[in-house]
Amino acid sequence: MSWKLLISDGLEESGIKALQNQGFIVEVKHFNPEELKINLPLYDGIIVRSATKVRADLMDLCPKLKFIARGGVGLDNIDVSHAQNRGILVINTPASSSRSVAELAMAHILCISRSLQISNRSMIDKESFIELKKRLSNSYELQGRTLLLIGMGRIGRELAKMAIGNGMHVIATDPFIERAEIAFNIAEQAFKINIKLVSLEIGLKQADYISIHSPYNGNKILDESQFLQMKKGVCIINTSRGENINEIALLQAIDSGIVRAVGLDVFENEPNINAEILKNPFISMSPHIGASTLDAQQRIAQELVDKIVTLKAEFIPL
* pLDDT tens readout for residues 8-66: 998 999 999 999 999 999 999 999 999 999 999 999 999 998 889 999 999 999 999 99
Question: Is there a contact between 99 and 158 (Cβ–Cβ < 8 Å)?
Answer: yes
* The pLDDT of residue 187: 67
Which positions are annotated as active-site residues? Answer: 241, 270, 288
Given a cut of 90, is residue 75 above it in pLDDT? no
Bridge partners of residue 180, in order along the sequence: 195
Given a cut of 80, is residue 317 above it in pLDDT? no
* pLDDT tens readout for residues 267-276: 999 989 999 9
* pLDDT tens readout for residues 207-244: 999 999 998 889 999 999 999 999 999 999 999 999 99
Give the residue, 73 or 301, on which the prediction is more confident: 301
* pLDDT tens readout for residues 81-123: 999 999 999 999 988 889 999 999 999 999 999 999 999 888 8
- What is d(CA 209, CA 145) in angstroms, rounded to the nearest whole number? 8
* The pLDDT of residue 51: 87
pLDDT band for position 318 (50/70/90)? low
Looking at the chain, the whole-number percentage of residues with pLDDT higher than 90 is 80
Cα angle 290, 230, 153 (rounded to 5 degrees) comes to 35
Question: Is there a contact between 180 and 158 (Cβ–Cβ < 8 Å)?
Answer: no
* pLDDT tens readout for residues 158-190: 999 999 999 999 999 999 998 888 887 776 678
Average pLDDT over every residue of 192-203 = 94
DSSP state string for 217-276: -SS-SB-HHHHHHSPTTEEEEE-S-GGGB-HHHHHHHHHHTSEEEEEES--TTTTS--HH
Bridge partners of residue 148, in order along the sequence: 171, 210
* pLDDT tens readout for residues 249-290: 999 999 999 999 999 999 999 989 999 999 999 999 999 999
